[in-house]
Chains A and B, each alone.
Chain A
Amino acid sequence: MDFRLEEEQQMLQDAIHRLAEERMRPAYREADEDGQLPADVIQAGWDMGLLPTAIPEAFGGLGEHSVTTNAVAIEALAWGDLATTIAIMQPALFAMPVMLEGTPGQKEAWLPQFCGPKPPPVAAALIERGIHFGPRQLRTSAERRNGGFVLNGKKTMSPLADSAENILVYANEAGKTQAFIVAADGEGVTVGDRDKLMGIKALPTFEIDLQNVAVAASAKLGGDAGIDFEKILAHSRVALGAAAVGMARASYEYAMAYAKDRVQFGEPVAHRQSIAFMLAEMAIDIDAARLMVWEAAWLLDQGQPAIRETALLKYTIDEMVLQICDRGLQVLGGHGYIREHPVELWLRNARGFASFDGLLIA
């Protein structure tokens, strides 16, 4: 039993924290207002090399995939800014499922492309709009036809899909969630308008419409046997949990600093139990959530499916990040409501986690 980081993990965490503080934090507000990512920051994030580190040596990577290390990294990134984090990690949404579940041929074809200075233009599409949405009950369908598959359906919130040449589309095939590599310029594929979301506004995400999109059998991830979607979903939920912890911690730290500074009735508001206790509960919530993230990550690193643990994790962090970011805003009172402090942005981002399945992966 051990909860201490290794020296290398600590160094990675420190490096990412510097990136987050020096590059992400100064840029996030303008990026959110303008709906535009800071390209140089994205590149700096990519240069951290998280994905190439994970990719096996046979395909040009370092072969050191550690879900726990990625969880530490993603927490540190999201502390900086969530939209930027998703953009930095976006190539992994394509590469990691290939790495985890692809055929040897698919791995050979794709993974080396993610080990260079710039990732290839790819995207992934899981989420569907509607209250019915469940990653295991997709309405986008894939039917066998003419030796291949035909895809029909509508996806939403696919990050950076407008610049993608290939999109990993999740669809329901014979009652199970499978994934298909779809050419973005293929017939029947329409990358639609950019989504208008409450949060992560710096991150361009898109609707993708699929009308009788024909793909070859080789486009099915994992070949004929398909994928273990549970594994991909579990890796995604750990990443989302880590990001939620990072962003919640950002809100908590910001609120605490504010509360210690803001004087009302002759003393800092942090002197009042109602505020101090709110902060104390936030601190406990964050630590508890992080432990759940790490436990699930560790199980995945041990080769365990962790379905139960990631389900409990997702259930917990969806609410935790919202409550903490809500309290964070509350501590700032009226000033928290203004789009100058980050707390309102973190709250807008926070509520999204309940629908963010597939936007991050570890």
Chain B
Amino acid sequence: MIDFEVPAFITNQLQLVKMAAEQTMRPKSRYYDEHEGEIPVEFVNLMWQFMSNQQKRQVEKWESQLNGTNGQAGAPPETRKGPDFTILNLVYMIEMLSWGDAGIYLCLPAPMLGGAAVEAVGTTEQKVRFLRRFSEGDPTWGAMAMTEPGAGSDTSAIRTTARLDEENNQWVLNGEKIFCTSGGLALSESDGFVVVWATVDAKAGRAGMKPFVVEAGTPGVVVAKKEHKLGIRASDTVSIVLSDARIPYDNVLGSAEVRDKSAGTRGFKGAMKTFDASRPAVAASAMGIARAAFEYSRDKLKEAGIEVDYTKPRHLLTAIERDLLEMEARLKAGWLLTVRAATMMGYGETNRLEASMCKARAGETATWITQKAVELLGPLGYSRDILVEKWMRDAKINDIYEGTKQINLLIVARSILGYTRKELK
């Protein structure tokens, strides 16, 4: 039944997350924004304790599956008692961390998108093998490398190749990936990994694309360039060049049938499923930034005697009060869409459409709200002495990564119209 109550375990956890945001993120936001490339160590060390404990429980679960049920996946949500709010919890956590600092949040020592791919497509053995490192030892990062100079929105244009060397039972990877979040942290600063999308058959288009786990220390892998960005400057964004990089055969994600060339797009589609969870996650990040900007604007304007009176009739509203109402209304709408998409996963419902809806809307909302905030705050908003201008710079990427707004709108449009890319380009 319709219920907007936030599960208690999420509310409880959020208190810790908020503390982390207030203590390790906000005080350092400006510093790391102006010292691109430095790792936010206080945040990393604090969150590592928390994240690695959570990961430990997951790994133990998979290990017991391996021992008991030989590699089968966990029970589907419907057979457990009640809904599984893992993704909903993640969404709330990411929103709060991004409210703290969206760039620093992306330095979270966790499997992130790379881990999402492993969980979506990997066998249980692979989950244990690749994800155990996030439950013990030093802070470790995971990453995903998809984008290339010639392949952004058009993922079918990916040209990084993976050739099977049967004699040595290795894959040989060649290509260049760009805009890889935390790629440097994964490969150079820890014993992490990057999930690299490569094609085993360029002529097969999407059907030839597979996810390959490239671990730190793999020969032939170079972190070639660190990007200097408009925003989320604390986040490590790198290019990775693979020159005859050799990885074990077992590092291609998925069961044997998925590895088989003739298995069609199942592998690709399987990993596209990760977006059903990752899109709400990115939407949550966008909404956290937006909330930061809205709250700051509201509080600052209140100091100046400008406060929204929710009972005022339209004809008495000043322009700035209307702007504040608009900000808050958009904030609420964007957040509700995000929570809805994440909640659906909790009940085992397909949420492909809703995930793209919330991502498209949240990116736009965060952009609008943060840009409006700078405007409303006048010369103060424009100053680098406060964080609002940084939040505007941080927000913009949410219209772009994890599927641009236009791509997500395209997904929504095709879904509602029942069209393939044949009908709707």
Contact of B337 with A by CB under 8 A:
yes
Do B6 and A136 touch (CB < 8 A)? no
Chain B minimum-CB-distance residue to A68: B2
B357 near A284 with CB under 8 A, answer yes
Q: How many Å lie between the Cα of A312 and that of B1 in the bound state?
A: 23
B241 at the interface (CB under 8 A from A): no
Does A315 reach chain B (CB closer than 8 Å)? Answer: yes
* Residues of A close to B85: CB separation below 8 A: 1
Contact (A276, B417) CB under 8 Å given A284-B360, A291-B333:
yes
How far in angstroms is the closest Cβ of chain A from B314?
7
For the A-B complex, the count of residue pairs with Cβ-Cβ distances under 8 Å equals 135
Cβ B313 vs Cβ A1 within 8 A:
no
- Given A276-B413, A279-B417, A292-B332, verify A2-B1 contact (CB < 8 Å): yes
Cα–Cα distance between A134 and B5 once the two chains are bound (Å): 32
Cβ 8 A contact of A292, one of B6, B336, B417:
B336
Is A295 within 8 A of B336, CB to CB?
yes
**Which residues of A sit under 8 angstroms from B416, Cβ to Cβ?**
256, 279-280, 283
Task: Note all chain B residues with C-beta closer than 8 A to A354.
Answer: 314
Is the pair A4, B1 in contact by a Cβ cutoff of 8 Å? yes
Answer whether A1 and B412 are a contact pair too, CB < 8 Å, given A295-B336, A299-B4: no
Query: In terms of DSSP, what is the predominant structure of the interface of chain A?
Result: helix
Give the contacts of B338-358 with A (CB-CB under 8 A).
Answer: 339-340, 343-344, 346-347, 354, 357
Within 8 A of B (CB), among A266-282: 267-268, 270-271, 273, 276-277, 279-281
**B88 interface residue per 8 A CB criterion:** yes
| A2 and B315 contact, CB distance less than 8 A | no
A277 touches which one: B4, B6, B337, B409 (CB < 8 A)? Answer: B409
Chain A interface size, as a band, is 35 or more
Asked if B4 and A288 make an inter-chain contact with CB atoms under 8 angstroms apart, the answer reads: no
Asked whether A280 lies within 8 Å of B409 as measured between CB atoms, the reply is: yes
Q: Which residues of A (220-264) have their CB < 8 Å from a CB of B?
A: 230, 256, 260
Query: Are B313 and A134 interface neighbours, CB within 8 A?
Result: yes
Partner of B346, one of A1, A135, A299: A1
Q: Known pairs A132-B315, A279-B413. 19 more at Cβ < 8 A? A: A2-B1, A4-B1, A5-B1, A5-B2, A68-B2, A133-B313, A136-B313, A230-B311, A270-B419, A270-B423, A270-B424, A276-B410, A276-B424, A277-B406, A277-B410, A280-B412, A280-B416, A291-B333, A316-B329
13 examples of A-B residue contacts, CB within 8 angstroms: A2-B1, A9-B1, A137-B313, A256-B417, A270-B419, A270-B424, A273-B410, A277-B406, A294-B2, A295-B332, A311-B311, A311-B325, A315-B326
What are the 7 A-B residue pairs with the smallest beta carbon separation, nearest first?
A134-B313, A291-B336, A311-B310, A276-B413, A288-B333, A280-B413, A280-B412
